[in-house]
Amino acid sequence: MSTIAPVSLPTQPTPPDDGPATAVIRSWKTPIALGIFTVLGAIMLVAFGRDGISTMVLSTTSDLIQLPTVDFPTRATGIVISVLLLAIATGSAWLVRNSRKTPIWLIGVFAFLLLLGFLAWASAGASIPIPGLLFGSLSLAVPLIFGALGGVISERVGVVNVAIEGQLLAGAFTSALVASITGQPLLGLLAAMLAGVLVAFVLAAFSIKYFVDQVIVGVVLNVLVSGVTGFLFTQLLAPNAATLNQPPKFDRINIPFLSEIPILGPVLFRQTLIVYIMYFAVIAVYFGIFHTKWGLRLRAVGEHPQAADTVGIKVAATRFWNVSLAGAIAGAGGAYFTLGSVGAFGKEMTAGAGFIALAAVIFGRWDPIRATLAALLFGFASNLQSVLSIIGSPVPSEFMLMLPYLVTIFAVAGLVGRSRGPAASGKPYIKS
Amino acid sequence: MSDTPPQTPPGSATPPAGQAIKPASRRDRPQTDAESRWHGVFREITSGSAIISVLAVVLALLVGAVMIAATNDDVQQSAGYFFSRPSDLLGNVWGAVSGAYSALFQGSIYNFGRDSFAEGITPFTETLVFATPLIAAGLGVALGFRVGLFNIGGRGQMLIAAAIGGWVAFAVDLPYGIHLVAALVAGILGGALWGGIVGLLKARTGAHEVITTIMLNYVAFYLVSYLLREGFLRTPGSNTPKSPASKETAVFPELLGADYNLHLGFILVIAATIFTWWLLSRSNLGFQFRAVGENPNAARVAGISVQRMYVYAMLLSGGLVGLAGINQVLGTTTSGFGATVDSGIGFDAITVALLGRSRPWGVFVAGILFGAFKAGSFSMQAAEGVPIDIVLVVQSLIVLFIAAPPLVRAIFRLPTPGDTPRRPRPIIVTEVAAK
């Protein structure tokens, strides 16, 4: 991929539109994006540099292995990081000049450095609890990850899932109701998955059986679920909050040994059952989609249903059951709102998380691992804002809140670019 | 499908067969026939598209009635002794449902409780007020749909339009008339700008519009929140994040006098509907839009710059949604706006556009229907204690049922009319050629 025939004339206009690329086109997008980020970073870190010492606390008080706190002199750190950023951006430009791609790990290092510089800059004269920051990020990301996994499965099998929001909300509502009545959070989780499946059934029935435009069904389902849960909440849950809307929450489970790993242990392994299920789901979906017969069929149906039909795969049935599975996963994410974090159902409590999950799916290019990482990024950015507002950030909180979304736009425009989904996603398959 | 072409040779005739099947099974949108338009209209009437729409509304209202009745206290109590006195239950069900729906009607169309016609019709003018921004934003979303773009960014576009247009309305001193036009244009340009960013990003970098519109919604929300708190939209000497009131010279005049809230916005929306209709079905640009929407690859081959169409479409779409935003500031909440001035219209507009099937006049009618639901829902809640959310349920079900005519036909046991798709001619030709 990284080699190009050097004889290709530079005068030949390279079409920017997609199409079968016969030669690797030198894309300057990555170095330009990195350059913009470097300039922005340097302006912030050097031109608006702040004096003081930034402290990062790496351990919680309950850890067995106590790490020392790390102190950064803020201004010097900013200058060093700006230089490193510039070096990486230049390196990327040099690679592109030689018709090679910028390796993904280099972009990762770049992002990490930029983040570190930002953290140091924002926390001048204060200390940031790193485990707390990461723990909160993961908590915010859990429903997004469940939703994104549901989205990935559904879109990979060829049904655009705009209804993630509805599935999350339905899951949140049902889990709160069932867990309150039975007193069992586990039953609440199961009910949430069932509710997600129910929403997915409608999506599947309308899009696969009646060939209704999938985006239409998805959007409408979101409104429908929002209306039904809001109606039932006002009529039933709110007047009887003590009996119907007080679900028991999942207990935290510390995994022995693993939970004592410095920094990561408290973040990853002192979580509730639902988060452990999430880890399992990410790995299972990844392995299932790319390494099993089920996944191969699923992808075949999503990419080229006619071909899949020709070799004897039942397209409609495959789509139907996999969309239902996706609904179950997204529904479980909804349960996290009520049984994992908040502890009671509230009207519209998902607040657009399903749309963020949808963005994570596309950002992650329909890959479960990458979509998970994108969801984590969203969770991290939202949580960063709340942490920084506690220690008193120099930036108005609105701009901090805006940051993740701006970064996503830049990243999608600069780094990801034209993301191509499964070929048959969104198209009904009409068997001839 | 019953109309599968019989024993065509598998190799040669498969592609035409596949093409020919499509219009037959997607009966509502014939696309390939040369005379498809008139044929399609004819078939649509015979297959009872209007009947389907009416039945869809009836079905949705029935489901809503079930929900209202099931959660009504009196109904629940009388259900406890159903077998001893069943008439109680039925009476209570009837009372709950008819009470709610008559409140809905009286709150949205005509209030029989008033003496004169002029007073009784007030709810209908309220309906039109609620419908105005829904139609404008719905037109914007529908325009996007026709070009194959999914504009979920109504919220952001409305907010930016309200911010820029609102600023012109309260901060600039201009004579009567000119001020109104200036604020209006500023608002529309604001929405167009916010939509245009999306189009530009899609055209230049291929960034998916669903991501960028969602992200820009949040960016706009926080930006406007900040401007209201500390920036140039802040009311001096006030701590609430709210803008100053629009100046009198910029406010939309009332159409029917001070007794009614109906304002100039409604006329503007009618004009916008006519403009969108003309643009999409009569103009050169609209033709290119639709070509890109039907098949971008074919449009590119035909010499249409798909990238440029994306930018233009998002500019226009954002501008129409911006009209909805500025309508809120200059017409509905003229006393100053907060960061929630969009009040969910950007998302409702998607449903409106879908119900209107992305046709300008369809959107117009759908917008008025949804405006009626919105206006009526308040009186329904006040009079009968039925939560407003029931309207969301009914609205979404209407769209869902209308989108799936076979389901409605199956529920009402209607015959499947127009089930006589002409035998596709190309197949016969190929068969003859093959022999």
Confidence of residue B290 (pLDDT cuts 50, 70, 90): very high
Nearest neighbour of A227 by CB, restricted to B25, B201, B396:
B396
B71 close to A (CB below 8 A): yes
In a domain, B16, yes or no: no
| Average model confidence (pLDDT) across chain A | 82
| A13 in contact with B, Cβ within 8 Å | no
- Residue B371: inside a domain, yes or no? no
Alpha helices in B256-359 (DSSP H): 265-282, 284-294, 296-301, 306-327, 345-355
Average pLDDT over residues A210-225: 84
At residue A158, the pLDDT reads: 87
Taking a C-beta distance cutoff of 8 angstroms, is the pair A351, A141 a contact? Answer: no
Do the chains contact at A234 and B216, CB–CB below 8 Å? no
- Indicate the pTM of the whole model: 0.79
How many CB pairs (< 8 A) connect A and B? 157
Q: How many residues does chain B have?
A: 435
Range with the poorest average pLDDT among A194-203, B37-46, B274-283, B384-393: B37-46
pLDDT tens sequence across A22-43 = 555 667 777 888 888 888 888 8
CB contact under 8 A, A417 and B396: no
How far is it, in rounded angstroms, from Cα B128 to Cα A308?
A: 51
3-state secondary structure (DSSP) of residue A296 = helix
Q: Compute the CA torsion angle B171, B176, B181, B184 (nearest 10 deg).
A: 50
The alpha-carbon gap from B209 to the nearest alpha carbon of chain A, in Å, equals: 10
What's the domain count of chain B? 2
- The pLDDT of residue B7: 40
The pLDDT of residue A321 is above 80: yes
Quick check: A192 and A411 in contact, CB under 8 A? no
pLDDT digit string, tens, across residues B10-33: 333 333 333 333 344 444 444 444
Per-residue pLDDT, B13: 36
Residue type for position A72 = F
Burial (CB count <10 Å: 0-12, 13-18, 19+), residue A19 = exposed
Checking if the pLDDT of A305 tops 50, the result is yes
**Pair B319, B183 in one domain:** yes
The ipTM value here is 0.76
The answer, for A316 touching chain B at a CB cutoff of 8 Å, is no
CA distance B303 to chain A (A): 14
Q: Residue B9 and residue B273: Cα distance in Å, rounded?
A: 49
Q: pLDDT per residue over B97-128, tens digit each? A: 888 888 888 888 888 888 888 888 888 998 99
| pLDDT given at position B24 | 40
Whether B156 is covered by a domain: the verdict is yes
Q: Do A220 and B225 touch (CB under 8 A)?
A: no
Q: Is pLDDT of A386 > 90?
A: no
Query: Mapping DSSP to helix (H, G, I), strand (E, B) and coil, where does residue A116 land?
Result: helix
Q: Which residues of A touch B14 (CB under 8 A)?
A: 432
Q: What Rg value do the Cα atoms of chain B yield, rounded?
A: 25
CA B391 – CA B303 distance, rounded (Å): 46
Contact call for B393 and A231, based on CB within 8 A: yes
Is residue B348, in this structure, part of any structural domain at all? yes
- Measured CA distances, A31 to A100, A102, A114, B161, B415 (Å): 12, 8, 15, 34, 62
Q: With 90 as the cut, is the pLDDT of residue B204 above it?
A: no
Same-domain check for residues B295 and B174 = yes
Which pLDDT does position A346 carry in this prediction?
83
User: What average pLDDT does the segment B414-430 reach?
Assistant: 54
Is the CB of B226 inside 8 Å of chain A's CB atoms?
yes
pLDDT of residue B48: 57
Number of C-alpha atoms within 13 angstroms, CB side, residue B422? 12
Closest CA to B403 of A211, A160, A158: A211
Nearest CA to B317 out of B362, B257, B276 is that of B276
Helix, strand, or coil (residue A270)? strand
Per DSSP, the residues of B120-153 read: HTHHHHHHHHHHHHHHHHHHHHHHHHHTT----T
Closest to A28 in 3D by CA, of B196, B205, B207: B205
Q: Vertex B17, ends B13 and B21: CA angle to 5°?
A: 180
Please check whether residue B435 lies inside any domain of the structure. Answer: no
Q: Is the pLDDT at B76 greater than 50, yes or no?
A: yes
A chain contacts of residue B13, beta-carbon cutoff 8 Å: none
pLDDT greater at residue B118 or residue A229: A229
Question: Using the beta-carbon criterion (under 8 Å), do A224 and B400 form an inter-chain contact?
Answer: yes
Does one domain contain both B98 and B192? Answer: no
* Model confidence pLDDT, tens digit, residues B292-312: 999 999 999 999 999 999 999
Give B255→chain A minimum CA distance, Å: 33
What pLDDT score was predicted for residue A280?
Answer: 92
Are B103 and B236 in contact, with CB atoms under 8 Å apart? Answer: no
Q: Residue A70 is inside which H or E element, if any? A: strand A70-73
Can you give the pLDDT at residue A170? 93
Cβ–Cβ gap B208/A232 under 8 Å: no
pLDDT of residue B428: 47
- In a shared domain, residues B74 and B150: no
Q: Name residue A70's beta-bridge partners.
A: A56
**Of A64-68, A407-411, B352-356, which gets the smallest average pLDDT?**
A64-68
Q: How far apart are CA B106 and CA B395, in angstroms?
A: 18
pLDDT at residue B364 is higher than 90:
yes
How does residue A400 score in pLDDT terms, banded at 50, 70 and 90?
A: confident
Q: Which residues contact A415 (CB under 8 A, 6 or more apart)?
A: A29, A30, A33, A107
The per-residue b/e assignment along A169-182, b for 16 or more CB within 10 angstroms, e otherwise, is bbbbbbbbbbbbee
Asked if B159 and B342 touch (Cβ cutoff 8 Å), the reply is: yes
State whether B278 and B310 are in the same domain: yes
pLDDT (0 to 100) of residue A101: 78
Verify that B137 and B278 share a domain, yes or no: yes
pLDDT of residue B5: 41
Record: contact A235-B71, CB cut-off 8 A: yes
Q: Is position B125 within any domain? A: no
At residue B141, the pLDDT reads: 94
> Sign of the C-alpha dihedral, residues A176, A182, A188, A192?
negative
Token match 């803020």: residue? A74
What are the two backbone dihedrals, phi and then psi, of residue A56, each rounded to the nearest 5 degrees? -115, 120
In sequence order, what are the residues at sequence separation of 6 or more whose Cβ sits closer than 8 angstroms to the Cβ of residue B171?
B232, B244
pLDDT at residue number B17:
38
Query: Does residue B343 lie within any of the structural domains?
Result: yes
* pLDDT, tens digit (0-9, with 9 covering 90-100), for B343-352: 889 888 988 9
| Per-chain mean pLDDT for chain B | 81
Q: Which residues of B touch A406 (CB under 8 A)?
A: 215, 219
Based on the domain organization, do B235 and B347 belong to the same domain? yes
Question: What is the mean pLDDT of the segment spanning B356-382?
Answer: 90
- Is residue A144 predicted with pLDDT exceeding 90? yes
Contact criterion met (CB below 8 Å) for B351 and B395: yes
% of chain B exceeding 70 in pLDDT: 84
Choosing among B22, B197, B201, B208, which should be mutated to test the A contact, i.e. which has the most A CBs within 10 A?
B208
Least reliable range by pLDDT among A340-354, B37-51, B190-204, B334-348: B37-51
* B267 lies in the same domain as B322: yes
In a shared domain, residues B69 and B159: no
| B151: pLDDT strictly greater than 70 | yes
Q: Is A50 helix (H, G, I), strand (E, B) or coil?
A: coil
Predicted confidence at residue A42, as pLDDT, reads 83
Please report the pLDDT score of residue B186 as a whole number. 95
What token pair was written down for A378? 């969203």
B46 pLDDT higher than 70: no
Whole-number pLDDT of residue B30: 43
Nearest CA of chain A to the CA of B252: how many Å?
Answer: 31
B84 interface with A at CB cutoff 8 Å: no
**Which tokens belong to A326?**
């996706």
Using CB atoms within 10 Å of the CB of residue A272, give its burial: 0 to 12 exposed, 13 to 18 middle, 19+ buried. buried
Burial (0-12, 13-18, 19+ Cβ within 10 Å), A279:
middle
pLDDT value, residue A150 = 93
Q: Which domain holds residue B171?
A: 132-355
Q: Is the pLDDT of residue B44 over 80?
A: no
Residues B202 and B76 reside in one and the same domain: no
Q: B297 and B405: one domain?
A: no
Per-residue pLDDT at B387:
85
- For chain A, helix (H) and strand (E) counts, in that order, are 16, 5
Enter the tokens of residue B233.
């939209």
- B152 and A211: CB-CB below 8 Å? no
Flag whether residue A351 sits within 8 Å of chain B, measured between CB atoms.
Answer: no
B17 interfacial to chain A (CB closer than 8 Å): yes
Rg for chain A, CA atoms, rounded:
24
Q: Please report the residues numbered 226 through 245 in chain A whose beta carbons come closer than 8 angstroms to any beta carbon of chain B.
A: 226-228, 230-232, 234-236
DSSP character for A69?
Answer: P
* Cross-chain Cβ contact A212/B18 below 8 Å: no
Confidence label for B417 from pLDDT (cuts 50, 70 and 90): low
Q: Does any domain span residue B218?
A: yes
**CA separation for the pair A14, A10 (Å, rounded):** 9
Amino acid at B369: L
Q: Which residue in chain A has the smallest CA separation from B27?
A: A211
pLDDT of residue B381 exceeding 60, the answer is yes
What pLDDT is stored for residue A24 in this prediction? 55
All domains of chain A in start order, with CATH: 29-125 (no CATH), 132-393 (1.10.3470)
Q: What average pLDDT does range B223-246 have in this prediction?
A: 85
The rounded distance, in Å, linking the Cα atoms of A427 and A212 is 10
List of long-range contacts for A189-194, beta carbons under 8 Å, 24+ apart: A189/A274, A189/A332, A189/A335, A189/A339, A191/A335, A192/A331, A192/A332, A192/A334, A192/A335, A192/A339, A193/A328, A193/A329, A193/A331, A193/A332, A193/A335, A194/A328, A194/A331
Highest-confidence segment of A291-300, A377-386, B425-434: A291-300
State whether A210 and B201 contact (CB < 8 Å).
no
End residue of a domain, out of B306, B323, B355: B355
Q: Does A426 touch chain B (CB under 8 A)?
A: no
Residue finishing a domain among B355, B386, B409: B355
Of B26, B215, B225, the CB nearest to A408: B215
Give A192's contacts (C-beta < 8 A, 6+ positions apart). Answer: A170, A171, A172, A174, A175, A178, A331, A332, A334, A335, A339
Q: Are residues B204 and B350 in the same domain?
A: yes
